[in-house]
């Protein structure tokens, strides 16, 4: 399993909505335009493929920040931010 923080900046409302819906199938939204995901390699490849087909590479931006398991332990959450994987739930 690979852990990611995924962010996006999409100018067009229709494309942004499609990308949000696609990400919802693989990741947990934690802030506007920010998701957390724990993905098997094949799901990571499929998600990247789907996002690349939806986005316009000269206008939009999607960034995957890969986290190691040790980095995940160092996440500090303040306020009402969700704990997406706190109960052992993983997106596959």
- Residue 11 CA to residue 33 CA, distance in Å, equals 12
Q: Is 9 annotated as a binding residue?
A: yes
What is the CA angle 50-9-73, rounded to 5? 80
| Annotated binding-site ranges | 9
| Annotated binding-site ranges for Mg(2+) | 9
């Amino acid at each position: 399993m690979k852990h990611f923080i995924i962010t996006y900046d999409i100018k067009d409302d229709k494309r942004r909505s499609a990308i949000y819906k696609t990400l919802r199938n693989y990741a947990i939204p934690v802030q506007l335009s920010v998701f957390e995901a724990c993905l098997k390699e094949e799901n990571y490849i499929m998600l990247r493929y789907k996002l690349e087909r939806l986005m316009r590479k000269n206008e939009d931006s999607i960034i995957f920040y890969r986290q190691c398991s040790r980095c995940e332990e160092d996440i500090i959450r303040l306020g009402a931010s969700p704990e997406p994987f706190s109960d052992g739930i993983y997106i596959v």
